[in-house]
Amino acid sequence: MKSFKLLFLFLFTSLLITSCSSDDDNTDPGEISQPGNYFPSSLNNYWNFDVINTDNTNEPVVSTDSLYVASETGSVFTLEVNDNMVANGTMDSFLINGSLTPSENNLIFSGTLELPEEISDFVDFEINLSNVVLYDTEAALGAELSSNSSTIEQDFNGIPITINYELTTNALGFSESMSLNGEMYSNVITSDIKLNLNVTATIEVFGNPTTIAILESQDVLSITNYYAQAIGLVRSESESSYEISAVAITLFNELEIDVPPSGSGSNVQELSDYFVAE
């Protein structure tokens, strides 16, 4: 009987400990809802950034951007930068070329995307985008947030080319605190934007149309963004690159078309100061 009581006491104590520990939240913070406003859109809110731009030929160039809310109509707002001048930051350049629509859990962009200079020197076209989800506070870690894709036909030095592109956005998680730009921020959502290109050309070989790869499918632009609750965009890191296929390099050499076989660049925006209306 004594051993039975001891066994009952042990089971009761174990059950009590388990019940108490179940109150602890062990859920991955990247996979739970994170309510709040991660891009305050009141008119005249502004964010100043230090911008560092680097390519594969020059020393880093340091500049600044002043991004601000230029208009607000209902639930839609637009941004401008540097008194409606050119943006130095890659993400700032993206944001000012469209409109933004916030909701309780996400921020949606519709507009256009201009390619970075190191890529537009090779292929240059404007990408029309709709319903690009920049972040989603309820998205699971690693979830695809949105996808835009299309095909464009162009003439490149007398050669017909076909450009297939896909722009995707993805959720990269949530941090209760994160050190960025030498500052500590609370409640930070991270997401990215990726642009994948595939470029082919059609040429005649012994009188027969032949398709060759100019650019194998590759991510030519990747932007990682960090949004802090009640502040907005606090940091953006972008990488751009392309590499022409070996067969295309041979073709261009034979046709005496001068195209760099590859190109790359990086762009970093660091928030220096801001004003957000309460």
| Mean pLDDT for the stretch of residues 157-170 | 93
Q: Where are the beta strands (DSSP E) in the chain?
A: 46-55, 61-73, 76-81, 98-102, 106-114, 126-136, 144-156, 159-180, 183-205, 208-228, 232-243, 262-275
Q: What was the pLDDT predicted at 172?
A: 97
Q: Work out the mean pLDDT of the chain and round it to a whole number.
A: 87
d(CA 224, CA 266): 12
**pLDDT score, position 218:** 95
pLDDT at 32: 52
Q: Which of 18-27, 96-105, 151-160 has the highest mean pLDDT?
A: 96-105
pLDDT of residue 210: 87
Q: What is the pLDDT of residue 49?
A: 98
What is the C-alpha separation between 209 and 189, in angstroms, rounded? 49
pLDDT band at 3 (very low <50, low <70, confident <90, very high): very low
Name the band, by pLDDT with cuts 50, 70 and 90, for residue 278: low
Confidence of residue 58 (pLDDT cuts 50, 70, 90): confident
260 pLDDT band, cuts 50/70/90, is confident
Domain boundaries, the chain: 43-275
Tell me how far apart the alpha carbons of residues 221 and 271 are, in angstroms, rounded to a whole number: 21
With contact defined as beta carbons under 8 Å apart, do 266 and 54 qualify? yes
Q: Any idea which residue has 């109509």 for tokens?
A: 73
Mean pLDDT of 205-218: 88
pLDDT of residue 119: 78
Residue 57 pLDDT more than 80? no
Q: Is the pLDDT confidence value at 205 over 80?
A: no
Summarize the confidence of residues 157-172 as an average pLDDT: 94
Torsion angle (degrees, nearest 10) of CA 213, 219, 221, 226: 170
Instruction: State the pLDDT confidence band at 79, using cuts at 50, 70 and 90.
Output: very high
Q: Average pLDDT of 233-257?
A: 93
